[in-house]
Amino acid sequence: MTRKLRLGMVGGGQGAFIGAVHRIAARLDDRFELVAGALSSDAARAQASAAEVGITRSYPDWREMARAEAARDDGIDAVAIVTPNHLHAPVATAFLEAGIHVICDKPLAISLAEAEALAKLAREKKKLFALTHTYSGYPMVRHARELVDAGELGDIRVVQVEYAQDWLAEPIENTGTNKQAGWRTDPAQSGPAGCLGDIGTHAYHLAAFVTGMLPKELSAEVHTFVPGRKLDDHVQVMLRYANGARGMLWASQVASGAENALRLRVYGTKAGLAFDQEYPNDLWFTPLGGASERLTRGRVKSAIAAHATRVPPGHPEGYLEAFAQLYLDAALQIEALDAGKPVPPESRLLTTVDDGVEGMRFIETVLRSSGMNAQYQEIGNG
Amino acid sequence: MTRKLRLGMVGGGQGAFIGAVHRIAARLDDRFELVAGALSSDAARAQASAAEVGITRSYPDWREMARAEAARDDGIDAVAIVTPNHLHAPVATAFLEAGIHVICDKPLAISLAEAEALAKLAREKKKLFALTHTYSGYPMVRHARELVDAGELGDIRVVQVEYAQDWLAEPIENTGTNKQAGWRTDPAQSGPAGCLGDIGTHAYHLAAFVTGMLPKELSAEVHTFVPGRKLDDHVQVMLRYANGARGMLWASQVASGAENALRLRVYGTKAGLAFDQEYPNDLWFTPLGGASERLTRGRVKSAIAAHATRVPPGHPEGYLEAFAQLYLDAALQIEALDAGKPVPPESRLLTTVDDGVEGMRFIETVLRSSGMNAQYQEIGNG
Amino acid sequence: MTRKLRLGMVGGGQGAFIGAVHRIAARLDDRFELVAGALSSDAARAQASAAEVGITRSYPDWREMARAEAARDDGIDAVAIVTPNHLHAPVATAFLEAGIHVICDKPLAISLAEAEALAKLAREKKKLFALTHTYSGYPMVRHARELVDAGELGDIRVVQVEYAQDWLAEPIENTGTNKQAGWRTDPAQSGPAGCLGDIGTHAYHLAAFVTGMLPKELSAEVHTFVPGRKLDDHVQVMLRYANGARGMLWASQVASGAENALRLRVYGTKAGLAFDQEYPNDLWFTPLGGASERLTRGRVKSAIAAHATRVPPGHPEGYLEAFAQLYLDAALQIEALDAGKPVPPESRLLTTVDDGVEGMRFIETVLRSSGMNAQYQEIGNG
Amino acid sequence: MTRKLRLGMVGGGQGAFIGAVHRIAARLDDRFELVAGALSSDAARAQASAAEVGITRSYPDWREMARAEAARDDGIDAVAIVTPNHLHAPVATAFLEAGIHVICDKPLAISLAEAEALAKLAREKKKLFALTHTYSGYPMVRHARELVDAGELGDIRVVQVEYAQDWLAEPIENTGTNKQAGWRTDPAQSGPAGCLGDIGTHAYHLAAFVTGMLPKELSAEVHTFVPGRKLDDHVQVMLRYANGARGMLWASQVASGAENALRLRVYGTKAGLAFDQEYPNDLWFTPLGGASERLTRGRVKSAIAAHATRVPPGHPEGYLEAFAQLYLDAALQIEALDAGKPVPPESRLLTTVDDGVEGMRFIETVLRSSGMNAQYQEIGNG
């Protein structure tokens, strides 16, 4: 076994959700050890949180952490950034400047300009910049992408993607006790997009990841249902692709009854497929005129799916394993980068800073279109 | 048992699909006997088709049929119009003028103007004008409407409706052997809308039927994927409602792998519901924060659902029973109208000519928006 | 169109369930007209019921009906027997003796001896004797049988069949208002088997119909959960087949939460299949090591399924259509028999009196085994 | 954060399946560090396997490991036993004798006598003895148990449990390359039960865990379908409970098309529930006469479920998380035992050596009944 990579974390202190997820994900495949952290902007809470999760090198400030870790012989190899959105770019910049690999939560930043600057910096520094679009870590999502790549769907015609939740159906951000709801509905911490940034970008990324296509223009509307809420809690979008395909995307955090219903359907000239995040061990594939097939990782011959799984078919994997897959791929890439070797092919599906740039471009185009009564707007991607 | 109503039929000869469905539906609850028909514009085929289905009074021409039946003491009480779309209005007009009740397939006409004229005429003549939006005949669809009416969903916020098929994914209208594909992709017979008129109107009606709301404006795009096809085979729409609700509708006949996937989801401030036409015995209801419930007609106390069913719960009903329900309700209303009595309350969910007018308004608004690069357009209903 | 067959009915008056089902089923494909009946053993109720359903020739007594109809030139071609079980044999005998075809509800009789006598008589009289095991009328059940016949499952190893309901979970027969519960739990009317005869025989028949195999021995236990109930309300059985296959069957009318959950799974050396009566438009087929396929009648090339359906795929069919299929096949066979022609091959899956004999043999063997503390008993079929 | 517990492992070298699962499970919640192992009976393989997984204290022999670790100040707190079945008892005995807590794979032993001796020893030594019946770690399984405990089902009447796989449908043990198939079909390593011991015991335990009831007698048959196989690959059982409930259990490793289909259904006088291991985030609950409810951990208020989960509802958890839950509960109990404190209540659902004894009693009773042509046998538990 090679040495475990040393991981630091910024954000993710007590009361946070995604920090704990990152820690389990990093640990699951035994490629990282968490050794340093600036878990909270509140120094006492940072210290307490660090003690709670067994981090010995606790920093009160992430700038100091970047400097100090860079200076140590046994400094961290990579940092996981799990702060609210507004800190993604400054923190990532500091660690990249310090020569430390970055694994960052999504959305990448709070503006496209920030995102593009980060991408430029990551390229210059030749450091890994992974963006944790978790859902691309599922084996059956990766297999779906492979089916598209292999032409099994033919030419893609229709993309339908959606992400429905209901946890913000009421103004829980006003209770003061829900830290998650608080920052995610606060423009100062979340940036200009609410539901759009939080889950709309996941839907957008999932569709792009599987189809291998980004739309070229969109017509969109964001909406806020809950009175007094400062950011959108619902978004709906129509999409046009360069190849003539059409699509629709919607995301909502007020869809009463929905827990975490991210679903993708893609229809091509030869077949269609469907994926439902709440049942991630299944992928549905239906040839034109044929029977729907429930594909599972045990029933497909897929190196790409096999690389992204740990247990035999019928033994369900879930969200944490998908997340862990991003960390596993990150480990493989970091080891290769540090050794000056080519990145292992099986790790290449890891989401990158460029995916994050596209996510921000999506956000800004949606907001622009929405501000113009949903007029179609060019997205301007590659 | 009261006398069976005498039914005539226009269209529905050999090679047709929906004619046979209407005949079974009319027969199922034993309230109609089919006695007359002009089943085809081809006289020989009309005669042969009539013999095949046991109709003794076969007419070569529907104008003649209207005149002759109106003149008989034992003339038909009602006519079922199951022709291609372009004949709906002229045929219906002739029979209404002859004082005969009308049960007509959807869409109502090939233009809004035609539709409005029909509605006006039906009102003047005080005759029944039922439009066969089949899916409103399902007991669980009717129960869904009742849940909304009763406020179980709270204020409606989000409407998602879709209708996906794949039978036109290839240019089968060019084979010359598929009568269905032939007329449904031919503007001369279908009018200006393809997929939009054929199934988009079903989706639109289902959403309106359940929510009790019509949108006030929409942004839409129709698209034709199959090269050479003369009408749209895909449509996507964003909807705005007067109460602030938002919605999306899409319909496609090129969605590879889909058979007849009409699905509706409605989210309100208190609960959400979901219906899938391919599994019509189930209705899913989820209170905000609560568990999803699989409602079946056996597990709800619902007079409205009970009126629309024939067999005990767990004994699945399907498309033909939903269709039969429209005929049953039509029979109840015809008997009341002819007796000068009020229409029985339990039959009041029967789709009307006014629903058909709204369907045509939807078609024209979608086409107008689509022609203007999907700019939002007022629908102008009620 | 050929002349409609004239149908009579014994049983099925007001308050009955299955009589109305038979009437719709007989009507659905337009091959029968109901012209005569002895709908109740109570003369006044018989008359009122007949008037309600439009029967002009109402008889107070089925013996008289058999005599009178046999004597008429326009007498009935066939009789539908929808009485409680204890009358099946005497009524069927009377009509067979009168030279009238018989369509009889299941179970065939209240003893094996009665059943065998009926089978002998039907053979002697060369009359149709159809037994309405409804579930064999579903297109996908017939397709399942075809898959087995064609060797697609390989050698069958395991058969799992079950039928769960909950409508008798409480002693509703004691309320005096539930006619169904009353006679079905009364040995004088139902014979010696309760749940076993009512739904256990359906499960047994479905397994035999699809696999083409009858077990050669069984170990069984019947049980009565509801205190004071006079017949069993739960049965469980282990099965051994001549080819070495093993099976299990259970049926319960106290399975809280179950509506009408008849499910069959068959596993062979090459593939497995599964059918759930509550979702009858789907058949699940899984090759060993392959993906599960959702077969629908639109996605299989199956003449046998096509013969048993009326509407396109995606337009769900249900229980009434399955029932109607038995009547359609019966009509085809009656016409052939009366014309002295061979029975049409596509109608040959119609359940026969011999199936009824096997059902009674199953009942008696289960009761014998149950009485011997579930010792294995030879069934003695074939 | 308290000190991580030091874990050793016996078995689980290269080619094993369950060893890796235990390692991930132990790591997931960060309560254990794996520091010692005797991963293989082959010394070289043991060494190589240890290196691969980062274990520094590798032993060629488990007896030596027990002695050496007991002697160290920093010796292991607990050992995970993941060998073939025949070694469970001797290895566990050695470590218990050495005063080391035991976490052991199931089935507990290869005979009831061995199992009872182990249980006695564990009690004497006052050490934890956890048995990894994984499926009891799922939050919704624990919630199911709580529903039963709380009387939500009323009196239990019917228990249906099954476990179907197809990976042994062909004689893959003869290929020599499948280590899993090799030992699991070898009586010398597996003991007298094949499918029965491997997965039948899981089904038996799951039913007992949820219902809180062990049956008092059973009628059973084991069967071997694959020619030449030395152990059973199929088992079917009928169960009687002391309270009058009835049950059935079947398990098969030749059920073509099944991956890992462990399913439990329980019906009581007030409600029924259903759980399917392949979709473990859902639990189905249906009140008598009411609608089926899809319970998820986000939609139930359940401290017991909350204790067994890591991520928000809608973020699916799977097999590894269920397994990790056993390790988490084991950690809680070990810490309490070592501190002389009472075991924390939330950890009390952890499976014990007594569950293992019941599993062995089940195996022996099934084999005895099967040898007597499935005659009912007393199980003799509690």
SS3 A104: strand
**D28 Cβ under 8 Å from any chain A Cβ:** yes
Tell me if the domain spanning A138-310+358-378 has CATH number 3.30.360.10.
yes
Q: Chain B: nearest CA to D284, how far in angstroms?
A: 10
Tokens 């439990």 label which residue? D264
Residue C96 Cα distances to C78, C299, C356, angstroms: 10, 42, 16
CB contact under 8 A, A293 and C292: yes
Q: Which candidate in D140, D284, D299 is best for mutational testing of the B interface (most B CBs within 10 A)?
A: D299
| Length reported for chain D | 382
Q: What are the structure tokens assigned to D260, written together?
A: 């890992």
**pLDDT of res. A176:** 86
Residue A1 contacts D, CB cutoff 8 Å: yes
Q: What percent of chain C has pLDDT over 70?
A: 99
Q: Which residue from C27, C298, C321 is facing B259, i.e. has the nearest CB?
A: C298
Q: What is the mean pLDDT of chain C?
A: 96
Would the CB atoms of B246 and A221 count as touching at under 8 Å?
Answer: yes
Q: Are A269 and A263 in contact (CB under 8 A)?
A: no
How far is B98 from B95, CA to CA, in rounded Å? 5
pLDDT in tens, C129-153: 999 999 999 999 999 999 999 999 9
> Which two tokens mark A235?
């978004």
- Residue A170 confidence class, pLDDT cut points 50, 70, 90: very high
pLDDT tens, residue by residue, B140-191: 999 999 999 999 999 999 999 999 999 999 999 999 889 889 999 999 999 9
Domain formed by B5-127, architecture: 3-Layer(aba) Sandwich (3.40)
Q: Which residues pair with D17 in a beta bridge?
A: none
Dig out the tokens for C214 from the structure. Answer: 């009858």
Write b or e for each residue in D176-189: b if 16 or more Cβ atoms lie within 10 A of its Cβ, otherwise e: eebebbbbbbbeee
List of chain A residues whose C-beta atoms are within 8 Å of the C-beta of residue B153: 256
Write the DSSP symbol of residue B105. P
**Quick one: pLDDT at residue C179?**
86
Q: Across the interface, which of D252, D256, D373 has its CB nearest the CB of C269?
A: D256
Q: Whose structure tokens read 């689509």?
A: B370
Question: Shortest CA distance to D262 belongs to which of D238, D279, D246?
Answer: D279
Comparing CA positions, the residue from D377, D355, D358, D357 lying closest to residue D367 is D377
Mean pLDDT confidence for D88-98: 98
The CATH architecture to which B138-311+358-378 belongs is 2-Layer Sandwich (3.30)
Q: What is the ipTM of this complex?
A: 0.96
The domain made up of D139-305+358-378 has a fold known as: Dihydrodipicolinate Reductase; domain 2 (3.30.360)
Residue A85 Cα, gap to closest chain B Cα (Å)? 27
Q: Does 3.30.360.10 match the CATH number of domain C138-303+358-378?
A: yes
Amino acid sitting at position A7: L
Domain extent listing, chain D: 5-127, 139-305+358-378
- The 3-class SS string of A168-235 reads CCCCHHHHCCCHHHHHHCCHHHHCCCCHHHHHHHHHHHHHHHHHCCCEEEEEEEEECCCCCCCCCCEE
B269-283 mean pLDDT: 98
**Chain segment A35-70, per-residue pLDDT in tens:** 999 999 888 999 999 999 999 999 999 999 999 999
Strands B5-10 and A377-378: unpaired
SS3 (DSSP) at C77:
coil
Q: Using CB atoms and an 8 Å cut-off, which of residues 268-287 of chain C contact chain A?
A: 285
- For chain C, say whether A293 makes contact (Cβ under 8 Å): yes
Interchain contact, B255 vs A267, CB within 8 Å: yes
Tell me the mean pLDDT in the region A316-334: 98
Question: For residue A1, is pLDDT > 70?
Answer: no
- How many interchain CB pairs under 8 A, A with C? 28
> What's the pLDDT at C382?
54
Shortest distance between the Cα of D1 and any Cα of chain A, in A, equals: 5
Instruction: Give chain B positions within 8 Å (CB) of D291.
Output: 285, 293-296, 299-300
Average pLDDT over residues C273-297: 97
- Average pLDDT, stretch B113-128? 97
Q: What are C280-289's pLDDT values in tens digits?
A: 999 999 999 9
Of B154, B257, B267, Cβ closest to residue A272: B257
How many C-alpha atoms does D200 have within 13 Å on its Cβ side? Answer: 33
Helices (H), D102-186: 112-125, 139-149, 179-184
Beta-carbon contacts of residue B340 (< 8 Å; ≥ 6 apart): none
Contact B257 A286 (CB under 8 A): yes
Q: Do D299 and B293 touch (CB under 8 A)?
A: no
Alpha-carbon distance of D330 to D77, in angstroms, equals 11
Residues of B in contact with A269 (CB under 8 A): 169, 256
Q: Are B267 and A246 inside 8 Å of each other by CB?
A: no
Q: How far apart are CA D303 and CA A74, in angstroms?
A: 41
Strand partners, A252: A164, A234
Is the CB of residue B29 less than 8 Å from the CB of residue B21?
Answer: no
Helix, strand, coil abundance in chain C, percent, nearest 5? 40, 20, 40
Q: Do B271 and A250 touch (CB under 8 A)?
A: no
Inter-residue contact B194 to B182 (CB < 8 Å): no
Predicted confidence (pLDDT) per residue in D130-178, tens digit:
999 999 999 999 999 999 999 999 999 999 999 999 999 999 999 988 8
Question: Taking the alpha carbons of A118, A119, A125, A130 in that order, is the dihedral positive or negative?
Answer: positive
B126 CB neighbour count, 10 Å cutoff: 11
pLDDT for residue D43 is more than 90: no
Please list, in sequence order, all residues whose beta carbon lies within 8 angstroms of the beta carbon of residue C265, skipping any fewer than 6 positions away.
Answer: C158, C159, C160, C161, C272, C273, C274, C275
Q: Do A314 and D260 touch (CB under 8 A)?
A: yes
- Mean pLDDT, residues B241-252: 98
- Return phi, psi of residue C70, to 5°: -65, -30
Radius of gyration of chain D (CA): 20
Amino acid occupying residue C18: I
- Alpha-carbon torsion, ordered C287, C293, C296, C299, to 10 deg: -90
pLDDT band of residue C324 (cuts 50, 70, 90) is very high
Query: Hey, what are B127's tokens?
Result: 């005759």
pLDDT at B381 over 80: no
B382 pLDDT above the threshold of 60: no
Phi, psi of D374 (to 5 degrees): 70, 25
- The three-class DSSP label of residue C112 is helix
- Residue A44's contacts (CB-CB under 8 Å, 6 or more residues apart) are none
Give A300's contacts in chain C (Cβ within 8 Å). 291
Residue C377 has a pLDDT of 98
Task: Find all residues with CB under 8 Å of C311, minimum gap 6, and list them.
Answer: B21, B318, B319, B320, C317
Strands, DSSP E only, in B269-371? Answer: 271-276, 283-287, 292-295
- Find the DSSP H helices in B29-73: 43-53, 62-71
Q: CA–CA separation, B195 vs B234, rounded Å? A: 6
Burial C336-365 (b: 16+ CB within 10 A, else e): ebeeeeebeeebebbbbbbbbbbbbbbbbb
Q: Quickly list H helices, B136-223.
A: 139-149, 179-184, 187-190, 195, 201-211
Q: Do D209 and D185 meet the contact criterion of CB atoms below 8 Å apart?
A: no
How far is the C-alpha of B369 from the C-alpha of A346, rounded, in Å? 46
Does A187 sit behind a cis peptide bond, omega within 30 degrees of 0 on the bond before it?
A: no
Alpha-carbon distance of A10 to A5, in angstroms, equals: 16
> What whole-number distance in Å separates Cα of residue C158 and Cα of residue C264?
11
Q: Read off the tokens for C212.
A: 């083409």
Cα–Cα distance, D153 to D266 (Å, whole number): 8
Query: By C-alpha distance, which of C269, C265, C106 is closest to C196?
Result: C106
With a CB cutoff of 8 Å and minimum separation 6, the contacts of B339 are none
∠D7-D13-D18 over CA atoms, to 5°? 75
Ramachandran quadrant class, A31 (left: phi over 0; alpha: psi -120 to 50; beta: rest): alpha
Asked if A84 contacts A90 with a C-beta cutoff of 8 angstroms, the reply is no
As a whole number of angstroms, the distance between CA C16 and CA A39 comes to 71
> D24: helix, coil or strand?
helix
> Any bridge partners for residue C217, and if so which?
C240, C378
Return the pLDDT at C1: 60
**C321 at interface of B, judged by CB pairs closer than 8 A:** yes
CB C78 within 8 A of CB C55: no
Question: What is the C-alpha to C-alpha distance for residues D253 and D255, in angstroms, rounded to an integer?
Answer: 6
Number of CB atoms found within 10 A of residue B256's CB: 28
Q: What is the pLDDT of residues C48-103, one digit of tens each?
A: 999 999 999 999 999 999 999 999 999 999 999 999 999 999 999 999 999 999 99
| Of A1, A298, A315, Cβ closest to residue D51 | A1
Instruction: Find out whether B102 and B326 touch, Cβ atoms under 8 Å.
Output: no
Distance CA(A282)–CA(A277), nearest Å, equals 9
* Cβ contact B249:B204 at 8 Å: yes
CB A143 within 8 A of CB A350: no
Tell me which of C286, C294, C296 to substitute to probe the interface with A (most A C-beta atoms closer than 10 Å): C294
Cβ–Cβ under 8 Å, residues D228 and D242: no
B259 reaches A (C-beta below 8 A): no
Query: Is the model's pLDDT at D382 over the cut of 60?
Result: no
CA dist., res. A151 & res. A169, Å (int):
40
Give dist(CA C320, CA B299) in Å, integer.
Answer: 20
A5-127 matches A138-310+358-378 in fold: no
